């Protein structure tokens, strides 16, 4: 049983062609009582960005589409809701996202929904 689990886990991880960088933040309280958010060192690990386009409707000649973006990553890693996530695709393109909710945990990997970070 354990051997088949390891095979399944390796099969899923072979699909992780992208690289993910998760920025971490910590909250500290200053001497005067203000909460300060400090950016810490992030963590880099392999991942797989999946996108599913859904046609929402048409407006005259233009079709409006909406994408559902899900990030698959190793089960031993953690991405908290609201985390800033930078993804370098296998072709070298880099995109910025924000984790939209809690991760779903599977035996072989984790998955989290993302929304595109439009801020510069």
Pick from 47, 52, 31, 60: nearest CA to 89? 47
Instruction: Name the CATH topology of 2-116.
Output: Thrombin, subunit H (2.40.10)
pLDDT at 120 exceeding the cut of 60? no
| Three-state secondary structure of 67-120 | EEEEEEEECCCCCCCCCEEEEECCCCCEEEEEECCCCEECCCEEEEEEEECCCC
Q: Which two tokens mark 62? A: 């233009």
The whole-number average pLDDT for the span 91-118 is 90
Distance CA 83, CA 103 (A): 11
**Mean pLDDT confidence for 72-99:** 90
**Given a cut of 90, is residue 87 above it in pLDDT?**
yes
Share of the chain above pLDDT 90, in %: 31
Count CB neighbours of 74 within 10 A: 17
Cα(107)–Cα(15) distance, integer angstroms: 16
Locus of tokens 């908290």 = 80
Domain extent listing, the chain:
2-116
For residue 119, is pLDDT > 70?
Answer: no
pLDDT score of 34? 80
pLDDT at 110: 94
Instruction: Give the range among 1-5, 7-11, 82-86, 99-103 with minimum mean pLDDT.
Output: 1-5
Of the two residues 67 and 1, the one the predictor is more confident about is 67
117 contacts 84 by C-beta, under 8 angstroms:
yes
């Amino acid at each position: 049983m354990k051997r088949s689990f390891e095979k399944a886990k390796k099969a899923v991880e072979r699909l992780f062609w992208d690289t993910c960088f998760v920025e971490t933040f910590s909250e500290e309280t200053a001497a005067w009582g203000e909460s300060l958010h400090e950016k810490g060192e992030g963590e880099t690990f392999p991942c797989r960005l999946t996108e599913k386009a859904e046609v929402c409707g048409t407006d005259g000649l233009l079709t409006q589409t909406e994408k559902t973006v899900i990030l698959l990553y190793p089960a031993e890693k953690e991405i908290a809701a609201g985390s800033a996530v930078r993804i370098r695709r296998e072709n070298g393109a880099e995109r910025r996202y924000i984790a939209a909710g809690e991760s779903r945990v599977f035996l072989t990997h984790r998955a989290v929904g993302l929304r595109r970070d439009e801020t510069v």
